[in-house]
Each structure stands twice: as C-alpha cells, then as structure tokens.
Structure 1
Amino acid sequence: MTNEHVKKVLIVGGGISGLTAAIALAKNGIRAEIAEKTSEWNVYGVGIIQPPNALRALNEIGLAKECMKQGFSYSGFDYYTAQGHLLNDGDCPTIEGYPGVNGISRKKLHNILLDAVHQTETKIYMGTTVSRIEPLPEGVFVELSNGISGQYDLLLGSDGANSIVRKMIFGDVPQQYCGQGVWRYTLPRPKDIARGLFYYGRKAKAGLVPMSDDKMYLLVTTPEPGNPKMPADQLHTLLKERISEFGGIIKEYADQITDPSQVVYRPIFSHLIPQPWYKGRVLLVGDAAHGTAPHLGQGASLAIEDVIVLAELLKRNLSIENTLDQFMQERFERSRLIVEHSDQLVKWELDAWKGNLQKDVNITDYVNETLAEMNKPIISKLSTL
C-alpha cells in the first residue's frame, strides 16, 4: 500500500539501520535519500552476532538467506573457565526456520545491505551530513553540508551513538560509560570450532565467535576503570596482556595476535533516549536512540527491527503522528529491555572480577530468558514479525 503522508524520506547515516531503512522504504514505494558523513565506505569492526530475531527482521526485506549463506550459523554457546573446564552448554532460544545464532563479518553484512540499496532508486550523498533542520507544518526542511537542501516528509536520524541529528533535535544526551572495554580480532576458524565458545577468567571474559567457513573472531571484555585511551600501535600487546591468564585454546590463539591495526577496541557505553524518540517529522532510530553493551548481541538487531517496524507501520497509511506514536509503543519497551539487561550483565561481570558476584546469579538462564523474549513478535497483530 502506498502511504499518502510519506513519500520522501531523508536518512542521515549509512550504517546498518540507515541502509536497512532505505531498502524497506523502497519496498513500500517511498523514495529515500541517504546522507553519509564518511567520504567512502569504511566499515568499522570485525564481526557481528545475528540472533534469530535479527534474521527474522532481515527476512522482511529478503536478505536473511544471504546473511546465512555468507555467514556461519550455529545453535548456541558453550561456557568454560579460563583454563577450559566446561561450566555450561546449550542452544540459544530460536524461531522456527532460523538458527540460534548466525555470525557474519560486519563488512559482509554492509555489502549485502549496500548491494540491495543499489537495486533501489535511493540517492546516497557521501561525505555529507545535516547542517540545518527546520520543522515545517507538513514536513521538515533540511540543509546538507554538501549544499543540497530540500523538504522531506520524514527525517530519520540513523547516525549512530554520537548522532548529530539527536544533538540538533534533543540537545546533549549523556551516554553512560559502563566501566568495560571490548576487544575484537579476526582469526582463522578450525573446523572443530562450530559453536560460540566463552571463557570466564578472574580479570576478563574471552570468546571465540564463528563468522564464516574459515573465519572467526576473538571477543574479549575487560574492566577498564576511567576509560583509558589505548595507544593504537600497542593494541595487540595490550590485548595479549589482558588474556594472559587464559590457558587452553585462548592461549594458543593469543600468539596469533600480531597486528595492532587489526585489533578493534571500543569502550562500552549505553544510553536510552526517553520517549518519544521524535520531534515533529524527525525520528531517531538505531544507536542514535538506544546504545547497548554487546553482551546480548542485540545492538544491531534492535537497529534493524526499528526500521522494519517503521516501514511496516507506514503500510497502514496512518497519519505521521499516529505512525510515530505507534512506533514508540512497539519499540520503546523492547529496546529498554536490551539496554537494561545488557547493563546488568556488565555489572555482574565487574562484580565477578571483584569477587562480589552473588551466588544465586545464573547468567546463562538470564541471557536465554532475555533472548527468548526477543523472539516474540515485534509488532502487534502481525504474527510473521
């Protein structure tokens, strides 16, 4: 169904949510333009975990199968001590037709989305961001940094955790530093590592996450009080120091961490914008609205779900005000669940490293219960979603 109220949309940000939005809107006959601040595509990161709800959402734009084809699907995770003694194993909650987990490189995911965008009539302005936003009675007037300006029916702020759109519309929004950092490094995947593996040490958590037939990535979370700046030329040494307590397979792979330029380190922040995430015809989606620690592997999933839900609601041909109000009803509590539960997992890890973790805490059950909740439908009265 063609929406009578939204025919032209500006998407600020060409990451996962922005590209997904362009594809989903095009399928609705809505013309989109993307303003991407980088002058060329430079995908930051190593790999990404796609739980079943992310694949279900991607299936709405016909890309779930391609993600599974180019990634590596498996049923769940095994948990060990730092020296390799099994603590727990089991499969992740799933949705019929999808694996418990699909691992994929961020670059491959980006290329899958970008290829799909190129099959639409979406205009992409590289090296461009928004410089002025002016609300209008029936839309929003936008000036871009490349000199282009125009009126749009809707503006999507899909420009990440440090969103320029958010700052222009809502002012400065604090992000909470969680006291941890996350490290990633790409490694060759031997055939016998066909599930995700996590190892809990006294000072760190280390994991091996498959993301293709021949690649996996090392994922490490560590306490980093005060959010220290990590010198780029020392990242490989610093990472190896932080996993020096681990034996077994983690120790074996530590010797392969040799290139500081291939270490991706990020301090962990989280934030959740209070309701609503919109003012007038400007809506925040993805990390611009909700940033989460990576402990549940749901950050990108939420971003994808946001724009799939928005596109689905636009099919109902409600007024823009009613569409955005319904969007918030569908998205806020679901996003809050992930942000708060991820923060809780961070707190428990920090407590464990301090020797203060309560004995009745069962992290595996907590994770699986949260993931099962995310497998529920993401939009009311539409069981397929």
Structure 2
Amino acid sequence: MAPSRNVLVIGGGAAGNALTILLRRAGVAVDLVEARQDWNATAGSGITLQGNALRVLRDLGVWDRIDASGYGFGSVGITAPDGTVLHVQDDLRTGGDDLPATVGMRRPRLQQILIEAVRASGATVRLGTTATIVEQDDTGVTVRLSDDGREARYDLVVAADGLGSATRAAIGITDRPEPTGMAIWRVAAPRPAGVTRTDLAYGGPAYIAGYCPTGEDTLYAYVVEANRDRAAIPPESYADEMVRLASAYGGHWPEITKTITDPAQVNYTWFDRMLVEGSWHRGRVVLIGDAAHCCPPTLAQGAAMSLEDAAVLAELLTGGDAWDDALLSAYYERRIGRVRAVVEASVQLGQWQLDGVRDADVPGLMARTMSQLQERP
C-alpha cells in the first residue's frame, strides 16, 4: 500500500482507538482527534467483554493488561428476585478456547489501556478538538480542525464519534438513536466474595437486576427499568433511587446495596437502538462503532461490535486494495449481517420485558445469537 496514505479518526473511544492502533501498526499515518480534553472521562462503571471482544483486544496487543485488570468467568446465572438461582448457562467462548468466555472490568481502566496503546503507536493525538468536513472528492477529504482553525487533507476520514455523531449528520446520513423504552442504573461497588459470574434477576420492581465482577474486589451492579424523564430525576437522588429499586432483590443484593451511598457514582442512562442501513460511508468518510449502530446492553455486545468494526476496516484498508467505494462497501457487507443480528436480539430481549412476555426463551435467544459470533467477523 502507498506509504503516504493518511487517515483522520474522529473520536477516541474503543472503536477509534482500536482502528488507530491497527492502522499505525501497518504504517499508516493517523491523526486522532477527541472532543473532550479529558480523554478518559468515561461514563459508566463497568463493562462486560465477551470472547469476540477479547479476540480483538488480543490482536491489538493489550490482552495481557486486560487479563491482569479484569475478572474472567464462564457462565451467567438467571435468578428469581429473591436470589434463588433458576438456571446457570455456560457462556460460549466466542473468542476461541484460548481466551476466557467473559471478562468484566472497570470501563475507565479499559479506556486507559487503549489510550496508552494509541500513544505508543505514534499516532498524532489532539484533545479538545473537533473536525468539520469542508469538502471531499474521489481522492480525499478536506477538514477544518477546531483547535487551531487550520485545514488539513486526508485520504480517509473515519467517524468514530459515537451515538450523537456530528460527522454522521454532516455527510447526510439521517439515522439517529431511538429510545427503546428502558433505562439503566449503574454503579461500581465492592464485590461480595460469592459473586464469581454475572447473575441476572428478571421481575420484581425492575425489569432486570444484575451484576458483573470486574476485579478481585470490585463489581458493577445495574438495575433496568422503564425509562423516565431525565429532567425529573435530580442527580443528588441517584443513589437513593437505585437503592430503592435494588432493595427488593435478594441473594447478594443486600450486601451490594449497603455500599450505594454516593449519588455521584451512580450513572443513569436510557437504552437506545440504531442501525444505519444501506451503507456506512459517503465518499471518503466512513462510520464505525456507535456512530453506525447501537443497541441495549442486554447481550453485552456493544463494545465487541465496535471493536470488530475497527478490526475489519483495518484489515481491508491495509490489504493492498484501492481505498475506494468498493472497499468501503465491502466493509459494510462484512459487518451488517452480524451487527443486525446483535442489535435485533438485544432489542428483543428488552421488548419481551416491556411486553410482559412470561414464557420468552431468553437463554435460547442469547445462545443462538452468541453462537453466530464464534466465527471471526
């Protein structure tokens, strides 16, 4: 491939960071711009990474640090609200037998590991900076960077700027995230000694109450309910609201709820869904990650799909073919079926709860969807 090719990556989350690392490894010049000055101001208390996500992280060269920072496990429990275990299902090793089925970890720690790998790659990083597309043609894209107002020319611009992607709108893709009707309360907490896997309780005052171990001494806990008007929930009440919902659950929940005291540590977020159909690019500007698709975390596959996007796009861009419409269309075709299956299943799992379906085959849908992810994307 031509050594003079250069790429602008807009957004320094999981997808943008992963793509930057992979392109730099292949010798592509990459500028990464991130709108936040604090690159690791990462919302959310924890993240569940299944094998197909771990496979990409290993390809990035960061698996040892992920392994040392998280908590690996291999099953999920379905419980009654009182904590009675109704079913334990082994997780599929979607990344292969040489990786754990699942690793839980603190989300800010994952971001820090990726940040360090981006900096080590030699990419140019500009924080507190946004990029505006000025014009593009068959050979590249001209953008204006907000930190100094200068214009720069790139062979390709990658929009990794998340759910509310300004770049997506700027290139005329009108899809926007839509609420599914659910919302989630999340908090980091000390891990009771008996918590060694994810457990999910369905029913009770919330639709789902669950937790995931994130380290030797930590977990993140979450409670899913119907979404509420965000403006009607004062932030200083977040801890009280989460405790009110979680207090109805048994098992390990009483020990967890005792530690939920600081409202600043509780995160409240609506579930959204979006899937851009048709193509994920316009000219030389292409979407990856949450800028192209998002779904509820009911399958814990959001980050995995973003990381896979980066891996597939990097493979195509560094494969020696021309950077043209055919290549970017091939990227979309490689990704759309797999991503659609995850988005639709993730939404369906929540919709069953919203509709009060009592005999829904939750374990079956989870297993069928995850089985499709065992093959490399």
2:323 to 320, 332, 354: 320
Alignment-derived partner of residue 300 in structure 1 = 303
Alignment-derived partner of residue 60 in structure 1 = 59
Matches within 5 A, 1:245-256: 245-256=248-259
Alignment-derived partner of residue 88 in structure 2 = 89
Comparing 287-296 and 142-151, the one that deviates more:
142-151
Matched, 1:341 2:345: yes
Distance 2:189 2:46 in 1: 11
Tell me if the contact between 2:192 and 2:255 (Cα under 8 Å) persists in the aligned partners: no
- 1:133-176 superposed Cα distances (whole Å, 9 cap, x missing partner): 31123111111112132110100000000001011012542322
Q: Give the root-mean-square deviation of aligned CA atoms.
A: 1.6
Deviation at 1:225, TM superposition (A): 5.3
Distance 2:178 2:259 in 1: 33
Tell me if the contact between 2:3 and 2:27 (Cα under 8 Å) persists in the aligned partners: no
Tell me if the contact between 1:34 and 1:125 (Cα under 8 Å) persists in the aligned partners: yes
What is the identity, as a one-letter code, of the residue corresponding to 1:290?
H
Name the CA shift for 1:66/1:285 in 2 (closer, same or farther; >3 Å): same
Which ranges in structure 2 are unaligned for 5 or more consecutive residues? none
Tell me if the contact between 1:278 and 1:324 (Cα under 8 Å) persists in the aligned partners: yes
Secondary structure of 1:135 counterpart: strand
Tell me if the contact between 2:295 and 2:302 (Cα under 8 Å) persists in the aligned partners: yes
Deviation at 1:239, TM superposition (A): 1.1
Tell me if the contact between 2:84 and 2:251 (Cα under 8 Å) persists in the aligned partners: no
Deviation at 1:49, TM superposition (A): 0.6
Tell me if the contact between 2:204 and 2:249 (Cα under 8 Å) persists in the aligned partners: no
Tell me if the contact between 1:189 and 1:216 (Cα under 8 Å) persists in the aligned partners: yes
Distance 1:5 1:230 in 2: 53
Tell me if the contact between 1:160 and 1:288 (Cα under 8 Å) persists in the aligned partners: yes
Q: What is the number of residues matched between the two proteins?
A: 371
Alignment-derived partner of residue 208 in structure 1 = 211
Deviation at 1:297, TM superposition (A): 0.5
Matched, 1:182 2:188: no
Name the CA shift for 1:226/1:236 in 2 (closer, same or farther; >3 Å): closer
Distance 1:342 1:284 in 2: 21
2:237 to 224, 234, 237: 234
Q: TM-score if structure 2 supplies the norm length?
A: 0.95
Alignment-derived partner of residue 17 in structure 2 = 19
Q: TM-score if structure 1 supplies the norm length?
A: 0.93
Alignment-derived partner of residue 381 in structure 1 = none
Which ranges in structure 1 are unaligned for 5 or more consecutive residues? 379-385
Alignment-derived partner of residue 5 in structure 2 = 7
Tell me if the contact between 2:177 and 2:274 (Cα under 8 Å) persists in the aligned partners: yes
Deviation at 1:96, TM superposition (A): 1.4
Matches within 5 A, 1:140-155: 140-146=141-147, 147-155=149-157
Alignment-derived partner of residue 166 in structure 2 = 164
2:290 to 287, 291, 294: 287
What is the identity, as a one-letter code, of the residue corresponding to 1:316?
G
Alignment-derived partner of residue 382 in structure 1 = none
Runs of 4+ more than 3 Å apart: 225-229
Name the CA shift for 1:77/1:139 in 2 (closer, same or farther; >3 Å): same
Comparing 61-70 and 267-276, the one that deviates more:
61-70
Name the CA shift for 1:29/1:5 in 2 (closer, same or farther; >3 Å): closer
Distance 2:290 2:369 in 1: 20
Identity %: 31
Deviation at 1:231, TM superposition (A): 1.6
Distance 1:237 1:69 in 2: 33
Alignment-derived partner of residue 193 in structure 2 = 191
Alignment-derived partner of residue 270 in structure 2 = 267
Deviation at 1:58, TM superposition (A): 1.5
